[in-house]
Amino acid sequence: MTRFGNLATRTQLREIGYSSERIRRELAARTVHPIGRSWLVAPGVHPDAVRAVALGGRLTATSALATYDVWVTCPMGLWIANRPTASRLPATATNEHRVWRADRFPRTDEKRWRVSLADALLHYASIGAEPDVIASIDSALNGGLLSEKQLDDIFAASPRRVRRMRKKVRADSQSGLETIMRLACEAEGWRVDIQIYITGVGHVDVLIDGWLVIELDGGAWHDDEESKDEDARRDAELTLIGYRYQRFRHGQVMRDLSLCMAVIRTILAGGRPPAPIA
């Protein structure tokens, strides 16, 4: 069952050699439990997957992307894919949504309780806000979960209004937080580079107009003392070689991006710092 994400159909188990009698014994022993007529569930399964199959569908959009370890800016409730021909399905509850679409892309794993990554992104592109969709696509590309060819196929299957996102996708973006900041800065008309290597400092998250470094401190990575010391060293080095810098926490970007942008505008209005004294 682990192979299938602890949620599999009886057919899947038979295909790998488990007899109907063996399945009945496991059910009697309560090591697995039935969902409807086809599905069997074992401990450790993702709860959203159980709900999806109970509703006669599979996880899609943000709900599926999260199970692929792809960045999701806003979960948006439970999203379930159903084939257009499906009928007599159980009613959804509050904050549960159906997508009525047939599969466009092949699944690359054996977890039948979710659509393929490509289909999940395709569905999300139709319902999500543009920066959030691009952040998820960047995450999938950077994680090696999606090829450029697959991405081209996704956009080819998307509505015209979605296709314009293609030119904004960056495979070198290290996090969804970085993508959201990058897109907001590009919308201001600033020249934006990401993951630029600066001698003596290392790679920086975002570089605006060639002199303002924006560092994004996400999660617990920057919270221990060793990391704080390294961040302080990098900040000092940036000052010494003629850069300005600003750090934002994950919560600042996610909850108050407009404030972050106002801070950046204020720094840029002050002009580029003078060249360092040799």
Q: Residue 206 and residue 214: Cα distance in Å, rounded?
A: 5
b vs e for 176-189, b when ≥16 Cβ sit within 10 Å of the residue's Cβ? bbbbbbbbbbeeee
Mean pLDDT by 10 residues, the chain (278 residues): 96 95 95 95 96 97 97 94 93 96 92 97 95 97 95 94 94 95 97 96 96 85 73 92 95 96 97 79
As to burial, measured by CB atoms within 10 angstroms (0-12 exposed, 13-18 middle, 19+ buried), residue 62 is buried
Secondary structure of 157-190 as H, E, C letters: CCCHHHHHHHHHCCCCCCCHHHHHHHHHHHHCCC
Q: Residue 150 and residue 244: Cα distance in Å, rounded?
A: 39
User: Does domain 176-269 bear CATH number 3.40.50.12160?
Assistant: no
Instruction: Confirm if 1 and 42 have CB atoms less than 8 A apart.
Output: yes
Q: Residue 123 and residue 115: Cα distance in Å, rounded?
A: 10
Say what the pLDDT of residue 12 is: 95
Total-model pTM? 0.91
Instruction: Confirm if 208 and 224 have CB atoms less than 8 A apart.
Output: no
Adjacent-strand bridge partners of 42: none
Q: Do the bridges between strand 192-198 and strand 78-82 make them parallel or antiparallel, or are there none, so unpaired?
A: unpaired
Of 67, 98, 97, whose CA–CA distance to 83 is shortest?
98
Of 126, 157, 155, 128, whose CA–CA distance to 141 is shortest?
155
How many CB atoms lie under 10 A from the CB of residue 192?
19
Cβ-based neighbours of 100, under 8 Å, separated by 6 or more? 82, 83, 84, 86
Length of the chain, in residues: 278
Say what the pLDDT of residue 275 is: 77
How many CB atoms lie under 10 A from the CB of residue 25?
12
Report which DSSP code applies to 183.
H
Say what the pLDDT of residue 192 is: 97
Write out the residue limits of the CATH 3.40.960.10 domain(s) in the chain: 176-269
Of 98, 95, 152, 97, whose CA–CA distance to 122 is shortest?
152
CA atoms within 13 A on the CB side of 180: 26
Say what the pLDDT of residue 244 is: 95
Say what the pLDDT of residue 224 is: 67
Q: Residue 171 and residue 87: Cα distance in Å, rounded?
A: 40
